[in-house]
Every structure is written in C-alpha cells, then in structure tokens.
Amino acid sequence: MAPTCAFNLQTCARKNILQLIPYRCARDDYKDNGSNILLDANENAYGPSLPFDGLDESEAGTGYDCTHLNRYPDPHQEGLKRLFCNHRNKNPTKPLTPANLFLGVGSDEAIDAIIRCFCIPGKDKILICPPTYGMYSISAQVNDVQVVKEPLDLISGEFKLRPEAINKRLSGDPTIKLVYICSPGNPTAGTVDPAAVRKVLAHPTWNGVIVVDEAYIDFAPEGSSLAPWVVDYPNLVVMQTLSKAFGLAGIRLGAAFTAPEIAQLLNNLKAPYSISSTTSSIAMAALSPTGLAVKKENMRRLLAQRDRLLSELPKLPGIGRFLGGFDSNFLLVEILDKDAVPDSAVAKRVYEELAEEHGVIVRYRGGEPGCTGCLRITVGTEAEVGKLLEKLREVLKAVWRERGGREGV
C-alpha cells in the first residue's frame, strides 16, 4: 500500500489543462464497424495515392496493410494499449488497464506533454538528476520552464540516486512540479534503486509528479519496471518505448503508464491522431506472443555481445573503468591518457578518429557530470562489435603516439 502523499491533481496540474475539453470526432460517438459509410472526417474515399494497387500487402512489399491509409487512425488505440498493459502486468489484483496509458510519438512526446500539463511557463520548474537524458532540459526550455539540477552520486562511479537531497530540494521549493528520473540511466546504464524512488514518492508535503523514464528497462533484470506501481501511486508516471529492446526506433512509439486521472489529462491535450495506423499495426505485432519471442531472441544475442564487450574492452590498453551499471544496451567506459588517468580530451579525439577515419560512431560523454574521459558505446551485432574492438585498438595506439604516450599500445 502506498503511503499517503500531498499530491492533489486539482492544484498541481495547470488550470487551463484541467478545464480543457478534448477534441472529439463523430467516431467517438459512432464506432466504425467495418460496414459504415464514413462521411464525417473529410477523408479521400478513393484510397491512398501509392504507386501500387494497394489491395494486397504482399504485392506492396510493405509488410503491413496499406489499404486503409486514407482513413484516420483510431484516436484511442484501445487494442494497442491493452497489449502494453498485458506485457507489464504483474499484479493480478490491481492490473494495469488502457485507462492507465498515454501513447505518444516516442517518449519525447510524453516528456513534453507532462511538462505542458503541470508546469506554468515562466513560473514552475522541473528537477533532473545529471548525468541524464538531454531532452528533459530541452523540453523544459521550449516550454519556458526552469531546470533544477540535483546530480546523482558522482563520487563512487555508480551514479546512485540521492533521494534525501532531492526531497530537501522539493521541501524548499514548491514551484518544482516534476522530477525526472532515468532508470536505467542514460548515459549511466544503471537501474535506479526502487527504494530510492519510493522515498521521493513518500515526500509528505510536496505536490508534484515523479516521472521515471524506463526506455531501457527490458535490458535490466526481470521485474525491474515500476510500471505496475502506478495503480498505487497517484503522482507517478512511468515512460517506456518500443525504440530500444523492441528495435522499433523508426516507428516512434512511446508509452506512459500513470493514474487514469493523469492519463486522461495527457490524452486530452495531445493531437487526436498522433499514432499512425502503420505504427499501431507494427506495434501490435511486436507485442504479440510471436513478436515477444523474436524480441527475446534478439535480446539474447545482443546481451551476448554486451558480455563480449565487458570481457574484451578492458584488455585494450587505454581503456579504464566501466562507470554506472550494466542494465542497458550500451556501456559507459573511461578513456585514459598516457598516465592512466581518465581524460576527456583524449576521449574526444578517440571519438572523432573512430568516426572520421573508420566509420565507427560512438558517443562522446566526457562533458557530462561525473563522466570525465567517457565514451558511451552501444552494443552492436557480432560483426559490428568485432570492428569496434579492432578499430578502437588502432585509434588508441595512434592517439597515444600522437600525444607522446608509451609505445606498444
């Protein structure tokens, strides 16, 4: 049972959002039964303008049915939401339902929608925990919302959440409306301790919303997701995506699990048809038993390559510690100078050489708090990991020679 908290949706959310009457169409009142004559939405009744007959998906070569693209997609996506819930349900007595879901164009739409729902421009703030995902700050700036930073633990290299420090900030500043927590972290790759999140949720006086971004949660140990918690906590939002473990970055679909009251507000303020029919059909296939089996096998292969990187990278002279955790499809690793000290200038040079000379693109993270000298390396296929290891050895050797480092690297 969740503890009593000070959250009050009626005073936390913006008044104009609480009063918003969502866009409605005739199909909200009269569902399409497949035989209705649809003359309500000014669609083109003669079908999509595509360079094939469009009657058979195999002829089109698209992999999905294109015959109904002249019709607007279902604005509510009940079937897709039900599959998301089934995938995350862990508590049979308090199951997640479609009423707990907001679907958006990737997690980025949810990040932005939550800010617009709760933060008054020029007045309210969000709190983030660097190093973390950059879109929280970008969305805040776009919405004229100030960003308060309470860093993760930067001393140990484990990047743990500091709930006591966060709660102190929340106690001292009631204009902080949202706390964004990334778990597993980006770029830190570690799953946040659920007990730490619970401590922030238990704040006795703060009237705001905790947002846990679980974009990489499927790479963490089974049962790590906090999505089932939203049935108990009225001020918790848990964001997820099909971009990472499901390998569907191209369809841009994200989900936010939360209390029905918050989900309703988020759905009220979004564009009515933001999830396309093609996105929905592909997502439903991915969340089907067959799709989940494919995901499981792909993850098995990917995690084998992650283990390979964990084993082989430390054998390269010039590679330092792995920072953060190991619960994602990337690793955060230090690049060392000639004195075996993490060095951001060296890491930047290695990053540039890999990309410009060898076409191997990783991510430089040396400018982030606690990430001195770090590169973030995404786990690739067996061939891609092999090329990375080969070219990284070459680049480290060249960069160290260039900077007067020891021979034989």
Number of structural domains (the chain) is 2
Q: What is the pLDDT of residue 58?
A: 43
Judge if 270 and 340 occupy the same domain. no
Contacts of 355 (CB under 8 A, 6+ apart): 361, 362
For residues 128 and 250, state if they share a domain: yes
Instruction: Work out the widest C-alpha separation in the chain, in whole angstroms.
Output: 77
Residue 62 has a pLDDT of 44
Condensed to tens digits (0 to 9), the pLDDT of residues 210-225 reads: 999 999 999 999 999 9
Q: Are residues 109 and 248 in the same domain?
A: yes
> Do 252 and 392 reside in the same domain of the chain?
no
Cβ neighbors of 144 (< 8 A, separation 6 or more) are 121, 122
Residues 278 and 303 in one domain: no
- The torsion angle over the Cα atoms of residues 164, 258, 275 and 185, rounded to 10 degrees, is 20
Looking at residue 107, its pLDDT comes to: 93
- Choice among 61-65, 135-139, 193-197, 385-389 with the minimum mean pLDDT: 61-65
Burial class (CB in 10 A: 0-12, 13-18, 19+), 146: middle
pLDDT at 408 over 60: no
* Whether 336 and 281 share a structural domain: no
The answer to whether 184 and 325 are in contact (CB under 8 A) is yes
Written as six digits, the tokens of 106 are 């990737």
Contact in structure between 392 and 316 (CB atoms under 8 Å):
yes
Mean pLDDT, residues 180-205 taken together: 97
Residue 40 domain flag: no
* 7 Cα distance to chain centroid: 25
Query: By C-alpha distance, which of 115, 141, 120 is closest to 15?
Result: 120
| Residues of the chain above pLDDT 90, percent | 78
203 half-sphere exposure, CB direction, 13 A CA radius: 28
* pLDDT, tens digit (0-9, with 9 covering 90-100), for 105-125: 999 999 999 999 999 999 999
Domain limit, last residue, from 287, 309, 337: 287
Nearest CA to 166 among 147, 150, 188, 189?
A: 150
- Identify whether the C-beta of residue 151 lies closer than 8 Å to the C-beta of residue 369: yes
Residues 6+ apart with CB under 8 A from 376: 187, 330, 331, 332, 362, 363, 364, 365
In a domain, 177, yes or no: yes
Examine the domain organization and report whether 122 and 235 are in the same domain.
yes
- The pLDDT confidence band at residue 29, using thresholds 50, 70 and 90, is confident
pLDDT digits (tens, 9 = 90+) for 139-156: 999 999 999 999 999 998
2 band by pLDDT with thresholds 50, 70 and 90: low
Mean pLDDT value across residues 365-394: 97
Residue type, 345: A
The mean pLDDT value for 357-367 works out to 96
Average pLDDT, the chain: 91
The pLDDT assigned to 53 comes to 58
**Residue at 265: amino acid letter:** L
Residue range 71-100: mean pLDDT, rounded: 92
Q: Which of 256, 287, 318 is the last residue of a domain?
A: 287
Per residue in 263-303, pLDDT (tens digit) is: 999 999 998 889 999 999 999 999 999 999 999 999 999 99
**This prediction's pTM:** 0.92
Asked which of 218, 252, 287 is the last residue of a domain, the reply is 287
More confident position, 176 or 54: 176
Domain co-membership, 141 together with 275:
yes
Q: Report yes or no on 65 lying in a domain.
A: no
Q: How many CB atoms lie within 10 A of CB 32?
A: 13
Domain containing residue 250: 9-25+74-287
Query: What is the gyration radius of the CA atoms in the chain, in angstroms?
Result: 23
Q: Position 10: which residue type?
A: Q
Same domain assignment for residues 206 and 341: no
Percent of the chain with pLDDT over 70: 93
- The residue type found at 164 is E
Same domain, 120 and 216: yes
Q: What crossing angle do the helices spanning 106-118 and 260-269 adopt, rounded to 10°?
A: 100
- Reported as a single tens digit per residue, the pLDDT across 194-214 is 999 999 999 999 999 999 999
- pLDDT tens digits, one per residue of 47-83: 778 776 544 444 444 456 677 888 888 888 999 999 9
Q: 3-class SS at 111?
A: helix
| Residue 70, phi then psi, degrees to nearest 5 | -80, -10
Q: Among 214, 212, 268, which Cα is nearest to 237's?
A: 212
Query: How many angstroms separate the CA atoms of 391 and 130, rounded?
Result: 31
